[in-house]
Copies of this chain bind each other. A is one copy, B any other.
Amino acid sequence: MSKKTQGRKKIEIKQLENSSNKQVTFSKRRAGIFKKAGELTVLCGADVAVIVFSSADKVFCYGHPNINAVLDSYQNGLSSVVKVGDNGSDVPVAEFNKEYVEAEKEFEGLKRKTTEMKEMADEKKKVTKEMSVSDGFWWDEVVDLGLMDEREAEQYLRALKEVRQKVAARVHELKILNGTMTGPPVPMVHQLCHIPFMTAKNCFGTDQDVQFGYGYCGFET
């Protein structure tokens, strides 16, 4: 009797053309990755987040203990140590972020000063309440969140985000201009970046017919 199937066949790691086959492979392999992530979690006590966008931009994710916790840790650098550079040596975040910590202190001072200024301004406003701007700018509400309703708060988030992006862009510009690529608030340096369709030999792996590769690269948060 003939074999029921040919069994698994070797495939090249390159873009699948057959779209239905691609869909099936996507589902199977995505599930496989999530399973492996779960196993890593249990076996090694690791926290893991996996986010996958399909080519049709559907999003799937896995997270332990939950995805937001991991993303927060990543973005706020709650790691006590970061892997830095090609050799992957450990650097305490505290040291790495020295500059940032100082900036934070300065900010605390700035905030205090700001509050004082605000108080002064309020007093001035009382005195000059005939001014048409006495209702204040929208961002004055920062100091009085309690009065905001949900809708307003949502707008707030939006506004602040926009501003933040502007600032971030400006900072980046300045850093490049100054040639001072000093550490960002919390860099995640031991990153394995995907380099699709490498032309040369895989510089890290050992496969012969490599269609893609990996590389470590420092980068900013």
**Residue among B47, B131, B161 making CB contact with A124, cutoff 8 Å:** B131
* Complex-state Cα separation, A78 to B14, whole angstroms: 25
B145 and A166 contact, CB distance less than 8 A: yes
Question: What mask results when residues 29 to 46 of chain A are scored 1 for a CB within 8 Å of chain B, else 0?
Answer: 110111111111111111
| B-chain residues with CB within 8 Å of residue A221 when the two chains form the complex | 68
* Complex-state Cα separation, A40 to B145, whole angstroms: 44
Q: Provided the pairs A70-B51, A120-B133, A167-B156 are in contact, do residues A191 and B44 lie with their beta carbons within 8 angstroms?
A: no
CB contacts under 8 Å to B, within A161-186, are 161, 163-164, 166-168, 170-171, 174-175, 178, 180, 185
Q: Is A106 an interface residue (CB 8 A)?
A: yes
Q: Is A193 an interface residue (CB 8 A)?
A: yes
B29 and A194 contact, CB distance less than 8 A: no
* Complex-state Cα separation, A178 to B153, whole angstroms: 14
* Complex-state Cα separation, A171 to B158, whole angstroms: 12
Closest to A149 in B: B174
Nearest chain B CB to A174 CB, angstrom units: 5
| B-chain residues with CB within 8 Å of residue A153 when the two chains form the complex | 167, 170-171, 174
Q: Provided the pairs A41-B196, A43-B15, A66-B219 are in contact, do residues A73 and B53 lie with their beta carbons within 8 angstroms?
A: yes
Q: How many residues of A contact B (CB 8 A)?
A: 120
B29 and A159 contact, CB distance less than 8 A: no
| B-chain residues with CB within 8 Å of residue A163 when the two chains form the complex | 142, 160
A61 and B74 contact, CB distance less than 8 A: yes
Q: Provided the pairs A50-B50, A157-B185 are in contact, do residues A79 and B60 lie with their beta carbons within 8 angstroms?
A: no
Nearest chain B CB to A84 CB, angstrom units: 10
Q: Is A110 an interface residue (CB 8 A)?
A: yes
Most B-side CB within 10 Å, residue of A30, A38, A120, A146 = A38
Q: Provided the pairs A32-B36, A74-B51, A118-B137 are in contact, do residues A188 and B16 lie with their beta carbons within 8 angstroms?
A: no
| B-chain residues with CB within 8 Å of residue A121 when the two chains form the complex | 133, 137
User: Would you mind naming 15 contact pairs between A and B with Cβ atoms under 8 Å apart?
Assistant: A14-B43, A26-B40, A46-B54, A57-B80, A60-B83, A60-B190, A61-B188, A62-B194, A66-B219, A71-B71, A106-B155, A107-B158, A139-B139, A150-B171, A153-B167
